[in-house]
Amino acid sequence: MTAPALIDHHTTAGYSLPMAYWLAQASDLAYKDEATIDAQARSWGFDEVRHHKTRFTPPFPLEDTQAYTAASDNMIITAFRGTEPKQIRDWLSDATTPPWPGPARTGYVHYGFAEALQSIFPGVKDTLAELRTGDQTVWFTGHSLGGALAMLAGARMYLEEPRLQADGVYTYGQPRTCDRMLAGAYNEGFTDRTFRFVNNNDIVPQLPPEPAFTHVEALKYIDSDGKLHDTMGLLGGLTDRAKGMTADPFAPASDGLRDHSIKRYIAALENNLT
């Protein structure tokens, strides 16, 4: 597929597999340095690129929060950067992490997500207000922590700044982000506009623990053979996860980290396209 395919899908309503593939590519790009992001985004047809970056000081467990916004005459993408699987796994496993009031005082979110997003949210909001000069569609995306921030940014815009709300949110390997109240409000506002991809045994979507935190709906599950499903029953899911764990008999426990790689998400989506 050629790069202009991303721009070709800017008016897509509802779920689009090509859009899922290209936004996974955009999520992967968020891990790169600014010069690489600028060059790649412009090769995709985006003539405006802005970077959002804030650094924290210890003891905050994540060293920094980063994202970029790329805009063309047709569409705007804000992609949030993720973090290393081990780092986010250790952090999200901490049961002492307090909740934080959700957008517009709707439910609660994970404290770390709320603080990380707040560090760049004013810049993201101002950038969208500046660059959305016409009828461009707006998309939020991200992998791992970036997926949680994309979902939460979508919720904040929807509940607090509706004129800037996203037309769609695609996330990959996203952890549980909020409580059931906020998830319910989000699901209502983003029906057929949000899609949460989980690759087989990816460890991060299993964290933080339930019942304090939950997932939003619209799951897209990638099984151990790389096939994409709109849903996966409990028994089928358990069987498939067991199959994935036995794929590498020498390191079955590492499957959850391997499956978290954004490269694996991209490869699976590309295979499903063909």
pLDDT at residue 105, as a whole number: 93
Lowest-confidence range among 122-126, 152-156, 167-171, 253-257? 253-257
Backbone dihedral region for residue 182 (phi beyond 0: left; psi -120 to 50: alpha; all else: beta): alpha
249 falls in which pLDDT band (50, 70, 90)?
very low
The first and second tokens of residue 253, run together, are 């426990």
Mean pLDDT of 32-50: 97
| Active-site residue flag, 192 | no
Q: What is the pLDDT of residue 274?
A: 84
Q: How many domains does the chain have?
A: 1
User: CB count, 10 Å around CB of 3?
Assistant: 13
Q: Which domain holds residue 248?
A: 5-273
Alpha carbon 206 to its chain's center? 15
Q: Active-site residue among 72, 144, 224, 261?
A: 144
User: Can you tell me the distance from the alpha carbon of 23 to that of 26, in angstroms, rounded to the nearest whole number?
Assistant: 5
pLDDT higher at 257 or 250: 257
Q: Minimum mean pLDDT among 6-10, 202-206, 237-241, 252-256: which range?
A: 237-241
Q: CA 9, CA 11: separation in Å to the nearest integer?
A: 6
Sorting pLDDT into bands at 50, 70 and 90, what band is 208?
confident
pLDDT at 246: 43
Active-site position among 28, 167, 179, 202: 202
Model pTM score: 0.89
Helical H runs in 58-179?
Answer: 85-92, 111-118, 121-131, 145-160
Q: What is the mean pLDDT of the chain?
A: 85
Read off the CATH number of the domain in which 177 is found: 3.40.50.1820
At position 212, the amino acid (one-letter code) is A
Instruction: Clarify whether 94 is annotated catalytic.
Output: no
Of 145, 221, 156, 213, residue with least CA distance to 190: 156
